[in-house]
Amino acid sequence: MTKVNGKHVNTVKEKQRIWRKLHLANDEYTHEVIAAKVILVFVGNNEILPILFNPLRRKIQQVSADGAYDTRAYHHVLKNQGITPSMPPRSNAGYWEEWHPRKEVVKVLKEDTLAEWKSTGVIINSQ
């Protein structure tokens, strides 16, 4: 019961929706889905990574993802499995350790040279 303007009005409680996220791993050459996992919204993206990759029998060389996956934990899991991460840093990204390859990418973003680089089409090798 809810009281509105002095009168009692019956209200029906809506069931709260629980969102789910679908994580897919696909082969970049064949576009074949090689792993899929559905998780609830309150499970972190970096928590699903080992679960998604463990049953795979093939060697994963690189993981491409969006900026939501740009976390220390995610990079740590990839490094431990010998996988090269390929994802843009978040817009508010800060510098990590001096040796971390992500540092160069963040530096380019901070200097605002990314738009200039995209217009040239030149590939930058940071090694």
Residues counted in the chain: 127
> Hey, how many other C-beta atoms are within 10 angstroms of the C-beta on 71?
15
Instruction: Tell me the domain boundaries of the chain.
Output: 2-87, 91-118
What does the pLDDT profile of the chain (127 residues) look like in tens digits?
444 555 655 666 667 778 888 888 888 889 999 889 998 888 877 678 778 877 778 888 888 888 778 888 888 888 888 888 888 887 777 777 777 777 777 777 777 766 666 666 655 554 4
Task: Tell me the CA distances in angstroms from 95 to 28, 50, 107, one per residue in order.
Answer: 29, 25, 8
- Predicted confidence at residue 14, as pLDDT, reads 67
- Predicted confidence at residue 1, as pLDDT, reads 46
- Predicted confidence at residue 25, as pLDDT, reads 87
The counts of H helices and E strands in the chain are: 4, 6
Cα(54)–Cα(89) distance, integer angstroms: 25
